[in-house]
Amino acid sequence: MRTKSTELMQRIGSFIDRYYSEWHTTPSVKEIADGVGISKTASYRYLVEMDARGMLKYDGTSRTIITPMIRKFSAGTVAAPVVGVVPCGTPEEEEENIQEYVSLPVSLFGKGEFYILRASGDSMVDAGILDGDMVVIRKQTEAKVGDLVVALDENGTSTLKKYGGIDPETHMAVLLYQNREVYPDKKILVRRLVVQGVAKHVIRAL
């Protein structure tokens, strides 16, 4: 095996840190190769060698790479994937597609597993959620009456609504619109409600 270049290892480590600082996720083996001007095979071998030397953590299979800078940065944050759009209106089908990762400070958002959805529609404006807002969702399968939930019904469609409990007449779960001016008293009834998470925060540019 050829001797590995220490200078190239430092360049790889610096590239990973810069990439993480910009995109809040680590680069792929190919992105590292392109970033420092080496082949994909060489990039992989260098990552394995750097792991062996304790310069970073790399399991050899996943995209996850942990450098000392990333470890220090990540200690006070949680990484939340941005997975697309959730309709704030009539339920629509949604494909989970991770677009990027956002680092959320634990001091502000708390610990737990989160993901972020971009709101689409106007049915939640009375709850402070506007069209285009990035909504931070805590992953959980249970909700209390009054929670703002990302709900999946028996038809496999999802929407962001306020959970109104169980309707006493139909015994169906109630999802409430939160825009009294446009949708007065409008609600959705579902026979089997599957909660995908509860909205906890909104990220919006002023």
Catalytic residue (choose from 43, 123, 158, 162)? 123
Residue 74: its H or E element:
helix 68-74
Q: SS3 for 146?
A: coil
Query: What is the torsional sign of CA 163, 166, 172, 177?
Result: negative
Determine whether 161 is an active site residue.
yes
Q: What are the φ and ψ backbone dihedral angles of 80, each rounded to 5 degrees?
A: -115, 125
Catalytic residue (choose from 161, 162, 187, 200)? 161
> What does the DSSP 8-state code read for residue 126?
G
The token duo for 176 is 């409430």
Determine whether 158 is an active site residue.
no
Residue 146's contacts (CB-CB under 8 Å, 6 or more residues apart) are 162, 163
CA distance 98 to 188: 28
CA distance 50 to 6: 10
Q: What angle do the packed helices 40-52 and 6-23 form, to 10 degrees?
A: 100
Which are the catalytic amino acids?
Answer: 123, 161
